[in-house]
Structure 1
Amino acid sequence: MRVYKIINEEKFLKADIFLKELKQLKKENIKTIKTNITPFEWDSYLGYSTSFHLLPTYSGFKPKKPIEKALDGWREDKDHADILVPNKRTKAGKEIVKKLDELPNFTFEKIAKVLDIKLISSGRFTIPSLRISKNKKHIFLIADDRAKLKAKDFKEVTITYVNKKLGIK
């Protein structure tokens, strides 16, 4: 794994726009879930983020208020009693899962496309990701050391430098 600072202004702007699009898409996905998928108000979700997908995958939701009667297509999660998940044994539950799976998302390959870099993904490899500094002046690419990067576009930096810019102690 290597960490690179984007030094090419055009690539920086593309990465910045892409990160803003991701943030907006996440907000839109949450709005879609709240208005079209869940019949109850919720304040947190059960889900996961893989490095392959750039946005979370939603699998359950914690209602703001306790639900007294059973909702069609929903059941309590086995491991988290306060979380409702789609009941995949019912037609309504399968529809809910389908809608959640259809929410827009990007794979890590979109980063390579946006930054116009070539990734070598055979065998073990580091899945690329982007991080932006607290002051929004630096964007870092975390990538495999086999990624084909141009020296005029990227400068390799240390983890200590990145953590300082990200505000991590």
Structure 2
Amino acid sequence: MGEIISSPELEARLDRLPTQLSDFGVDAFGFDPQYVKRVIGLGAWVYRYYFRCQTFGVENIPDGRVMVVSNHSGQLPFDGAMIGMAAFLEREPPRFVRSAVERFVPETAFVSTFMARVGQILGTPENAKRLLEAEDALLVFPEGVRGLNKTWGERYRMQTFGTGFMR
């Protein structure tokens, strides 16, 4: 697969992210920086030109372990991707934020491979603990899949959620 959109700026930011890669070039969760270099430009384009994201307070994301808590805005989880792009593009130094994904994601053809390669993790307490112990940033959506079932008119309304994400 060729590069979708690339730039020296994006590659330089990606190279500055701290990673703990195996001899195979991926981390324990499947994050593959070489793969990300080929697709990060598309994410940056969507962030800047499609959604035209505006970011406020990204400098408040601390170094070290942190859990970012958000609510979904509707049917497709672009919100998580855009939060991750904001931390990567707007914060100095760039920060890699991993989303905790629902259990159906690793069982979905093509999506499972893509999500692992770009660093997203299955949302289990064990994975969250491992990630935070490694001083990484974790993005959680307490509404879970309920947040994805919102209509456009409900996009800014919180859905009922449990506390399982806090275990």
Normalised TM-score (structure 1): 0.28
Which structure features the higher share of helix residues? 2
The higher-RCO structure (CA 8 Å, 6+ apart) is 1
Normalised TM-score (structure 2): 0.28
